[in-house]
Structure 1
């Protein structure tokens, strides 16, 4: 199993509202197709105050030097900030019109530092959503006046950080907003076009004052130190840019973001449902009709070559940032929801592992929400932490955040714990084996190797919640294995792996596996429309405002539900990938096949008195595309085992199992 070991030497290069098929499909489609984000901002202008100001540097300027203590302070005027737009040449001609693509870059920066000859760092977000779909919990878009001058940025980044001595830079990805070219769903065009903006900020690329003109624009006001941030697609591009090793990118903050686009569409050969069928259909939701027509040649391969068979192809290699993690020079602050069903936790798990191996300086927040921004589930702490992170990484303040606990993990709604490193150093690999139980159809889960077989028939009409509710009941569509009630809490962390030897009756077969905490609990209602939050009427303010750009955003609170079982890790695989993980092959009915199924990264405590269940079944309705066949699958229990990381290792596991 992959434990996401986090203590590699640092390299400073840098329900139960029911989760129905309709809810899952609508939620995931809304996030991936429409670009809905859960980060707030009002649509009406308000006058708002800033959060409590922190301590400035010795000169009171809010722009620090390495080794300075304290925090940047809101000493610059947001109302008088410089608001400008430039178009950066990308060196690409993605739409084939014979002209270099230029991407639109909107900038808000304090005017005072440049007037005094001081250069400032940049907080940057590159997004396809600024014009088509909006950003945040209130779907804010960029707004311009009649002359095309920027008057409002989405989200709070400019309102909060510009008065503290940062510039905020918002990039329209190619083919969206006011940019040329074609977007390509996290591919070379997206990544190169965001990277070249960092090159421009560091004097290595050219920008222009208009979309088509020849007058150059210089970034003489910045020192080039850049931190990228973004949620979903935006954060995915930040991952991709970091994986180029571009100089000047000091840190990234990817929120609910993709690290390998294959995993957004497939899981070990199984096509996942609820998202756009291919990257080509996804990008058509952010491009205008005119751009879509112009970019048909780019979009078509993203549909045709992204094989629905689940086979790996060059499309996915180009969009696999994990493979280039050893090039990352920036620090990485990962934020993800452990119940994110749109960008699944497997995405951050593999990325975290690779970054740890490369010695990258990291930090992580893990919530119990779905696809939600931390601004909307832990607002005050998030703004404070992000402020300290950027002050340390971009301004050089010695504020202690690099010595603070690496991980914040939400255990129950609004209850958080911290870990010095993640996963905790006390985590060690353990093996759990399924076995035949005294009750027909309901097996055991323990440390003794299993014997015999267990069989189930793919129903294609049941989901993980159906299986969890009936974990202790024999049903023909699943094989369930349960521990006895735990005598001691069991803390599982990292990415579990299930090795199975299975014999199908048909040429195609899909497998699903879920880990379930069986016992009463109050959890965030991640399957609801709010994905675990409820949006309220009142607002709080985070930064300075103008008449057109308010710093005040709707408050939220946890949307909770009471359950008797909680699925906390899940995974899917086509049994036909047992011979080659990158290719789905036809199976020989009656012939056993062995594969290792990767379950999603998790960090979950099964309380004393609860039971841990492993459920293995066929099609997971609402998550996995139905297989062509409906096989009966027989598991060889002697050759089936679950490997996970448990805090306290085998000793704690033995104590928990009694």
Structure 2
């Protein structure tokens, strides 16, 4: 497909011309690649846990595959550890190219997935790739976010600090404190990042920082949506089956317990509570560098939003990147800047190098393909809540930033209504949806945080799904996160990030941003099951003659609606693409005088041209279609 330069995209976006860059900042202190990667020590350690959930009478063991600089070991120099604990090292692979561990005849890893080992080992780090319990060569049984998984990964941190026993395959004790400083940084995308969140929530000493990328903070909010089942993701039992590395029948009891705990209804219960890490944010001692795609339809924005808010409430040192892509690693959407930033982050938190990274802006937010804006804090200073009211029943109705709501809306369930048909052509009357729009904006509007909506509603049935979508209307070229690569495509060219050996190279295929011209973009979504309006743990039927005031959150965002476009909110009932088929055939009557959309509005002064920085330029691929299919996967 034809590629276009970034400045052409900005012209199509109607973006402000970019200012010349400021004078170069002083060169930051960085660790140098002084160690030989090809001669690095590679070893496999079986770390004992305190658990035995496979019931074989011996402690379950988590495999930690280690690579560390030989010269440092010879000189008696201790090194910090970068660690990626994952269930995917053998079943599915890691990264955009789905790399797996490769082993020599003696069982030692000769190839580690991803570039962490290639880049950081020469710079004086060890890298540990840990197989979660019940996966690959680890024993125990994978319990998908539960105690076995979390405590098993935590045991590796404990071993690196001398608090747990590690052995070779032959049983010889391996003492990590002879070479490890005890300072550990956990990193990973998706499930790997989730386990980083979970281990940090235990408060384990020695875990100095985590970098959760597109990570879950609550397994309920991954599999369920305010009382309904999320059909876009794999169930807990099926995830267990996918990653299980144990012989047939070994984990039958655990598999059965997962099926019974993750009941098919939408209720929140003890099973989900044990897999909710947000309430334990007060126990987090590690700093946290959050990375998330605002358009991630797999691990949706609720995960970074509630985790970030809980960390902020407990004054956890933190940093955040928010991109326009879907479920994509920053190595594949902002590679050079990402590797540099991650390098400085780990140098600061694991090596104590005062490189100034914590004095830099807290947040980097992608506005358009490769155009980034920074904020000194997130949500930005001066962000306030603005009430937008719903007025009238025309096509469309008015979304007004002042005044009062007016009128009454009757909305009939249309279970076959797709999202595309629900939000497109806002002036067209369509059964099952109602659009409310602002007038054409005369200045940019920045929404940064978590929108909420309140509807005063009466249902003709005992329950109904309530759906709200925040939409920007106005033709523009945007990152196409609905395409198969969720905003990127993979090229044939390669770039290298670190040192290589004959068995493990540091080179990865380059990527390009995929952009499309579209008349609208859905910015945020939110859903509520009417019978779960008061509680997620139990249901209460809706009385068909009673109005209920129901409030729910939409997904958190940091998006700018440019001047000359319109902001809209689209109301529907059933939304089968995002929540389980829950159509009751209801008709909902909405009292607009008692309904309001609350938006976190950040100051427009933060949108000066100086803050909009294209770096570095990434090849752009024009996709003429806005593909409604998702093609997402958990990895």
Q: Given the two structures, how large is their TM-score scaled by the length of structure 2?
A: 0.89
Kept in 1: contact 2:305–2:450 (CA 8 A): yes
1:548-578 deviations in Å (ceiling 9; x for gaps): 1010000001011111001011111101112
Q: Does 1:201 align with 2:160?
A: yes
Kept in 2: contact 1:457–1:618 (CA 8 A): yes
| CA positional deviation for 1:473 | 2.3
Kept in 2: contact 1:369–1:532 (CA 8 A): yes
Name the counterpart of 1:216.
Answer: 173
Name the counterpart of 1:131.
Answer: 90
Name the counterpart of 2:560.
Answer: 605
- How far apart, in 1, do the equivalents of 2:105 and 2:439 lie? 68
1:586-610 deviations in Å (ceiling 9; x for gaps): 2222322222111001001001110
Kept in 2: contact 1:269–1:311 (CA 8 A): yes
Kept in 2: contact 1:479–1:615 (CA 8 A): yes
Q: Does 1:500 align with 2:455?
A: yes
Q: Does 1:75 align with 2:43?
A: no
1:414-471 deviations in Å (ceiling 9; x for gaps): 111111111110211111111115x366344332120221121111112332222132
- How far apart, in 1, do the equivalents of 2:376 and 2:396 lie? 42
Name the counterpart of 2:218.
Answer: 260
Query: Which of the numbers 141, 149, 156 marks the counterpart of 1:182?
Result: 141
Kept in 2: contact 1:509–1:574 (CA 8 A): yes
Query: Which of the numbers 422, 425, 433 marks the counterpart of 1:478?
Result: 433
Kept in 1: contact 2:53–2:254 (CA 8 A): yes
| CA positional deviation for 1:227 | 0.2
Between stretches 460-469 and 91-100, larger displacement belongs to 460-469
SS in 1 for 2:442: coil
| CA positional deviation for 1:90 | 0.7
Change in Cα spacing, 1:648 to 1:441, as seen in structure 2 (3 Å) is: closer
Q: Does 1:382 align with 2:338?
A: yes
- How far apart, in 1, do the equivalents of 2:425 and 2:459 lie? 23
- How far apart, in 2, do the equivalents of 1:381 and 1:248 lie? 27
Q: What is the 5 A alignment of 1:252-651? A: 252-276=210-234, 278-288=235-245, 290-291=246-247, 293-437=249-393, 439=394, 442-648=397-603
| CA positional deviation for 1:282 | 1.4
SS in 2 for 1:308: coil
Kept in 2: contact 1:88–1:200 (CA 8 A): yes
| CA positional deviation for 1:115 | 1.2
- How far apart, in 1, do the equivalents of 2:395 and 2:213 lie? 44
- Greater RCO structure (CA 8 Å; 6+ sep): 1
**Where in structure 1 are there 5+ consecutive unaligned residues?**
1-54, 57-68, 653-658
| CA positional deviation for 1:476 | 2.1
Q: Does 1:247 align with 2:205?
A: yes
Kept in 2: contact 1:280–1:301 (CA 8 A): no
Between stretches 491-500 and 452-461, larger displacement belongs to 452-461
Between stretches 557-566 and 620-629, larger displacement belongs to 620-629
- How far apart, in 1, do the equivalents of 2:532 and 2:248 lie? 35
| CA positional deviation for 1:508 | 2.3
| CA positional deviation for 1:628 | 4.4
RMSD of equivalent CA atoms: 1.6
Kept in 1: contact 2:574–2:583 (CA 8 A): no
Kept in 1: contact 2:446–2:604 (CA 8 A): no
| CA positional deviation for 1:236 | 0.3
| CA positional deviation for 1:380 | 0.3
Change in Cα spacing, 1:444 to 1:425, as seen in structure 2 (3 Å) is: closer
Kept in 1: contact 2:390–2:596 (CA 8 A): yes
1:218-239 deviations in Å (ceiling 9; x for gaps): 1010010000000000100000
SS in 1 for 2:311: helix
- How far apart, in 1, do the equivalents of 2:517 and 2:327 lie? 20
SS in 1 for 2:66: strand
Query: Which of the numbers 42, 45, 58 marks the counterpart of 1:86?
Result: 45
1:467-508 deviations in Å (ceiling 9; x for gaps): 221323222211211110011111001011111111111112
Query: Which of the numbers 98, 113, 116 marks the counterpart of 2:72?
Result: 113
Q: How many residues align?
A: 580
| CA positional deviation for 1:303 | 1.6
SS in 2 for 1:324: helix
| CA positional deviation for 1:113 | 1.2
SS in 2 for 1:140: coil
- How far apart, in 1, do the equivalents of 2:87 and 2:125 lie? 23
**Where in structure 2 are there 5+ consecutive unaligned residues?**
1-25, 608-635
| CA positional deviation for 1:316 | 0.7
